A and B are shown apart, each in its own frame.
Chain A
Amino acid sequence: MGSLMLTKRMALVGDALGHVALPGMGLALLFGLDVSFGAFLFLLLGIFLIWLFEIKTSLPMEALVGVVFVASLAIGFLIVPEPELLEALFGDISKVSFEMAIVSIIFSILIFLMINRIYPKMILANISDDLAKSEGIKIKKQNFIYLLSIAAIVALGVKIVGSLLVGALVIIPAATARNLSKNLKEYSLGSVVLGILSCLFGSLLFKVTYLPAGPLIILTSTFFFLISLILKR
């Protein structure tokens, strides 16, 4: 998904959507619900609003995402209870129960399969709308599935790295893979592998240092990115 987002020049959208999730996370914490659930509902609402605004004005998508994202951030700060604010912003992997981890894995696999299915079509549409249409690809439908998957991934990700850093979880591994790959397979597979490695090493560091896991995971992936700059093809 990260490699698709990077290709579509949507690197910062994951970031922005992370903020959109914040009010939902706050409400979930207030009512004792799962934060991913609250986040997902608000992400759907946010995406719907962006889509609606896009019909109403001719402003670029970027500006609309910006409006929705800062408004959500403001609302989020008001809603999220003070003690949980840090958790919402930076995530807390130690709060994830075993059952929720299993549920997250199942959802991740489903999203992975979905993205895998639309991947070639999205790539073609990204190269050329016209070529994709001439191949009979329904671009709006693919885009809808794609946006829904982003919302789901962000909702799952906020638990681990929090609303401020979730965008990085998607984008940095893809950017690193992009530096190292010479074809699509290396690019997409590399993003996945680097994402997994970052989470793995970040969590291990967390076990050793007891510093928050979210920032450690992001810093690990940033470290991989820096190495990729040296090895860049």
Chain B
Amino acid sequence: MENLDVELEGERILENLSFEVKEGEVLTILGPNGAGKTVLLKTLLGILPYQGEIEWKKGVKIGYVPQRLPFIKDVPMSVKEFFDLKNVSGKESEEILGSIGLEKDILEKKIGDLSSGQFQRILVGWALVGNPQVLLFDEPMTGIDISGQESVYNLLEKLRKERNLTILLVTHDLSIVYKFATNCLCLNKKVLCYSVPKELTTERLSQLYGGGIKFYRHSHE
């Protein structure tokens, strides 16, 4: 990605972003609320307008796991029907269920009846349909308890190895960053740092979440 600018409804959300993620890496994206993390993921997906350059490896397939889906419980829908929205074959959905650690009988369950941990796994599984090489994750841990979080990350690590995935992950959880990430991007409209996790010092973090705000104060005339 080079010199990326994203403007939505006249407001500059991302400014002059440049970075590179290599195959097989795990990039975590850190930043305070409103820093543009979700917008960055959506732009990478190609569903928001942007200026600048985004270049993917040729023929790359991207899977996306959104932050939450508040409206899904408005629809009575079984897990199988949720997968069917993506035209997935029975064989593929069974294989995916296997790799996200769920039993086959969950297919007949109503989405609204799943626990948040199960639902999270289903979302991950949904993103795996069609064998993407890249997964984009938007704060996958929202609303999941600590043991659930731990197991979702173990799952991600397992999937990464099994399927040789490249993962871009928005998170607030620093322990994940240190344990799981190959690289870390600190974002607050601009890139504040791009480094390996162990260089992510307290100073940098306070700049990102605290002091950084002062530095990037801007006006809306």
Contact = CB atoms under 8 A, between A and B. Distances in A.
Nearest to A133: B47
A120 B85 contact: yes
B157 interface: no
Given A7-B75, A133-B47, A183 B85 contact: no
A120 B71 CA distance: 15
B24 interface: no
A181 interface: yes
B76 A181 contact: yes
Contacts of B76: 178, 181-184, 186-187
Interface string B99-121: 00000000000100000000000
A124 B47 contact: no
A130 B78 contact: no
A135 B86 contact: yes
Given A123-B85, A134-B64, A178-B76, A183 B110 contact: yes
Interface of A: 7, 9, 120, 123-124, 126-128, 130-131, 133-135, 178, 181-187
Contact of A123 (B62, B66, B75, B78): B75
Given A128-B66, A128-B69, A133-B47, A120 B84 contact: yes
Given A120-B84, A131-B64, A183-B110, A126 B75 contact: yes
Contacts of A183: 76-78, 81, 110
A130 B75 contact: no
14 contacts: A120-B84, A127-B72, A128-B71, A130-B45, A130-B64, A130-B66, A133-B45, A134-B62, A181-B76, A182-B76, A184-B75, A184-B81, A187-B75, A187-B76
A47 to B, nearest CB: 23
Nearest to A186: B76
B74 interface: yes
Contacts, number: 55
Contacts of A123: 75, 77, 85
Contact of A184 (B47, B69, B78): B78
B42 interface: yes
Given A123-B85, A124-B85, A7 B74 contact: yes
Contacts of B86: 135
A185 B110 CA distance: 12
Contacts of A187: 75-76
Contacts of B78: 182-184
Interface residues on B, range: 20 to 34
B198 to A, nearest CB: 33
Contacts of B47: 130, 133-134
Nearest to A9: B74
Interface in B35-72: 42, 45-47, 62, 64, 66, 69, 71-72
Contacts of A124: 85
Contacts of A135: 86
Interface in B159-185: none
A184 to B, nearest CB: 5
A44 to B, nearest CB: 29
A187 B181 CA distance: 43
A14 to B, nearest CB: 18
A211 B189 CA distance: 67
Contacts of B71: 126-128
Nearest to A131: B66
A9 B74 CA distance: 9
A181 to B, nearest CB: 5
Most buried by A among B69, B85, B86: B85
Nearest to A126: B71
A161 B46 CA distance: 46
Contacts of A127: 69, 71-72, 75
Nearest to B62: A134
B13 to A, nearest CB: 15
A185 B84 CA distance: 11
A186 B78 CA distance: 10
